[in-house]
Chains A and B, each alone.
Chain A
């Protein structure tokens, strides 16, 4: 993947304020990262092509036959928002999970709440993960299964979701909200800006060393 920006602090990414698109449900709580991308598909040295294996084992049988998961149903084709339950993204720290989601064409996840490492990894990629109340998630899931063409809008400034007749609040960690709205969700440029101070700090904090 080519560099998205130059590592200079003044060159930030495009802000992400609103995500609009159709949504698809991935039912269940505790959707772990092994389910998002099974470990056997992580035998790779780039993230290219991971989108193909997103949710592989809940979408296909071991033999590769479709299980007719909503993601593969024609009525949800073109959806760009995932809707799921509690503790989404629990398990391993593999960035392969949000990478697979992004590379399969998704732009945001609405769930009950998120495992911490997954949340951070996703934010860094510009994949907003907003948390909603279970009753609102149920209503949204019902709506999109009945009317999959419904446009769902996530407003990261107001922290609301609008979908047809539905409107409900969502939550997002303030630093993630700030980062997404300002286009500084990938911290590398800001981190690099302080490298001289870091060098001074490193001199005072010894690291592990082999005796000479």
Chain B
């Protein structure tokens, strides 16, 4: 019987059993940021410990950075203290820090791949639940808490029990105007927000193989929204092509050796899966969430369901969602006025996201009164977009083009919703209060759907809005 990628990577990195029965797992690469690491460094100091393998940890700053005025000290003194603390910790312990002046700063899950730090067949950990993003390269990547950040800093290992593996097989052709974001929102809606608990999701099948690496990142990114801590795609030629020549990837003969090793890591054709779910991509339409968890989504031409029509287990959450969102069962989201359009986040702020939306934004204007912001995922993304003139297209359309960071995905910086504003957002979570205002309302959708909402001022079917492009 063959093995899955997850099993192969797990077996290679398992260092032994711990007294509680869990596995001590070696973590090849550790990524840190300013929010979940300072306390871990504090614990290290309290315990008198050092960072065991400082060359295996990489830092950047993303959650709290302002995206408009970047002059330090930041106006928010708490945010300013956080970036200074990270600088000090990286200097004290000898850790590479992609700081703002480096030109390589950005959202940690965009910086890792961009720098070639994210590599197939490796284990990756980061104190952030969207670490699953790195699975797009065939890495097994875990979001972890701060005590585990401490564990990885001190030992390059952590205690973990193995996951089951569910294959999410996607077949069929995606319709025009339907994107990777729609696939993953549909998967989460179908399998539920806790359907993936205890599983690693292996995204496979012809549709997934046909996606670009950046699209695969969008899918793996939201594994956690479906309850799966880990999501991955088997590495292939596209993976190697994306990585070749990136700063932290092997070069020359080492590159060839690495690629032949990476090819071995993909799941065997006769691998055993604990579960398999098959999806038909041709049935998926542009998807928008109407509620307060990422599983509460509908196709753009569908109506918001009545709680009575949902499975019993989903009813109370649906009631709560309708009340919070001030929506009615039976209502369609198409035509719903918005106040804010947010284009950014580790889910959808890579070059291809901006390029795709720019095709439609060219020559169009954001509707009057709509606050539209575009936040590149990294300084690298920003630079490439500038070279391609993409930033100019967004600006000409009326988007505020910002500096790199997590921004309004979670509103830890000044980019926040106000009151009960409705935001068309390319991010990953629509939880109550997620975008910085306790009563703010988030509608998750693909970046092109965000662009369509921005130009019409209401939730719209991008396929119709942009039909003449």
Contact = CB atoms under 8 A, between A and B. Distances in A.
Contact of B46 (A3, A86, A90, A199): A3
**Residue from A30, A93, A184, A199 having most chain B Cβ neighbours under 10 A:** A93
Contacts of B396: none
Contacts of B131: 93
Interface stretch (B35-43, B380-388, B457-465): B35-43
Contact of A182 (B20, B48, B64): B20
Interface residues of A, number: 72
A167 interface: no
Interface in A159-193: 173-176, 178-179, 182, 184-188, 190-192
Contacts of A151: none
B81 A45 contact: yes
B145 to A, nearest CB: 3
Nearest to A58: B432
Contact of B29 (A29, A176, A184, A207): A207
Contacts of B320: 28
Contacts of A2: 46
Contacts of B250: 206, 209
Contacts of B438: 38, 57, 61-62
Interface in A190-212: 190-192, 194-195, 197-199, 201-202, 205-211
A39 B79 contact: no
Interface in B137-185: 143-148, 150-151, 154-161
Interface string A106-139: 0000000101110011001100000000000000
Interface stretch (B193-201, B213-221, B336-344, B348-356): B193-201
B426 interface: no
B161 A173 contact: yes
A90 B19 contact: no
A65 interface: no
A141 interface: no
A58 to B, nearest CB: 8
**Interface SS of chain B:** loop
A93 B142 CA distance: 10
B171 to A, nearest CB: 28
Contact of B193 (A30, A125, A188, A208): A30
A46 interface: yes
Given A35-B433, A39-B412, A186-B147, A175 B116 contact: no
B57 to A, nearest CB: 9
Contacts of B432: 32, 34-35, 57
A116 B158 CA distance: 15
B248 A28 contact: no
A187 B197 contact: no
A44 B78 contact: yes
Contacts of A99: 146
Contacts of A43: 64, 76, 78-79, 82, 412
B144 to A, nearest CB: 6
Q: Which of B18, B20, B249 has the most CB of A within 10 A?
A: B20
Contacts of B81: 45
Given A115-B197, A182-B20, A208-B249, A39 B52 contact: no
Contacts of B436: 39-40
A211 B253 CA distance: 13
B251 interface: yes
B135 interface: no
Given A57-B433, A175-B21, A208 B157 contact: no
Contact of A93 (B19, B145, B150, B227): B145
Contacts of A14: none
Interface in B115-139: 115-117, 119, 122, 127-129, 131
Contacts of B150: 188
A191 B158 contact: yes
A202 B156 contact: yes
Contacts of B71: none
The 9 closest A-B pairs by CB, nearest first: A121-B145, A95-B145, A43-B78, A187-B159, A208-B248, A45-B38, A93-B143, A95-B146, A57-B438
Given A1-B46, A61-B438, 6 more contacts: A113-B194, A117-B224, A121-B146, A175-B159, A188-B154, A191-B24
Interface of B: 12-13, 15-16, 18-22, 24, 26, 28-29, 35-36, 38-39, 42-43, 46-49, 52-53, 55-56, 58, 63-64, 76, 78-79, 81-82, 85, 115-117, 119, 122, 127-129, 131, 143-148, 150-151, 154-161, 193-194, 197-198, 224, 227, 229, 247-251, 292-293, 313, 316-317, 320, 410-412, 416, 429, 431-434, 436-439
Interface of A: 1-3, 6-7, 28-30, 32, 34-35, 38-40, 42-47, 57, 61-62, 85-87, 90-96, 98-99, 113, 115-117, 120-121, 124-125, 173-176, 178-179, 182, 184-188, 190-192, 194-195, 197-199, 201-202, 205-211
28 contacts: A3-B46, A34-B433, A45-B38, A45-B42, A47-B39, A57-B438, A86-B313, A92-B410, A93-B128, A93-B144, A95-B147, A113-B194, A113-B197, A115-B227, A117-B145, A120-B160, A124-B148, A175-B161, A179-B20, A186-B147, A187-B24, A187-B151, A188-B154, A191-B24, A191-B155, A192-B154, A197-B15, A207-B53
